[in-house]
Amino acid sequence: MGDWSPAEAAHRAASDAELIAWVDEQDGLLGALPRAELRLRGLIGRGTFILLFNAAGELCVHRRALSKAIYPGYWDVAAGGMVQADEDYALSAARELEEELGVAGVPLREHGRFFFDQPDNRLWCSVFSAVWDGPLRLQPEEVLEACFLAPSQVLSWAGERPVCPDSLVALEHYLRCSTAS
């Protein structure tokens, strides 16, 4: 499994085995399946995207670990992940934000949902945002580095660096919702 550390390999194996909420094209719950099986069979899961801003309005972007199954080493504009079988979107978002970036106890604001459909990544996605000016505690098995950038700068990165397409759609969704309200 590449040049992964034992911790990264163990984390990837555990991640692939997690039971994820399996849903239909209308986001109706069908059951639970291991994450790797959902991917392999091209089935739909649920995912959360948490856009973390600082008080200056800059967005936290981070680079994904090379051991990630999807978009390894890509820049990600949102914390987040798959919704586990026993979670709702909000609970998953809070868990993922704490796991990946070490941010806990902040109010999460929900900004609606969208369907993301690519052959290797089919998700019903719920978008959240939060504001945090404290330190980040990056989970080394998932996140290589992080920084805060102006949202306009983040959007220009997409043409210059590999950026997760699903989280870019989440950012665009957030920006549309923010200007509409």
Domain boundaries in the chain?
A: 6-180
pLDDT score for 118: 92
Q: Which residues are annotated as a binding site for Mg(2+)?
A: 96, 100
Query: 137-158: per-residue pLDDT in tens?
Result: 999 989 999 999 998 888 888 7
Rounded to whole angstroms, the Cα distance separating 116 from 147 reads 26
Write out the binding residues: 96, 100
Percent of residues, the chain, with pLDDT higher than 90: 77
Identify the CATH class of 6-180.
Answer: alpha beta
Distance CA 12, CA 31 (A): 22
Q: Indicate the helix (H) or strand (E) that contains 122.
A: strand 121-131
- Mapping DSSP to helix (H, G, I), strand (E, B) and coil, where does residue 52 land? strand
What distances in angstroms separate CA 118 from CA 17, 123, 143, 145, 149, one per listed residue?
21, 9, 23, 26, 27
Q: Is 83 left (phi over 0), alpha (psi -120 to 50) or beta?
A: beta
Q: What average pLDDT does range 65-85 have in this prediction?
A: 94
Which is higher by pLDDT, 87 or 179? 87
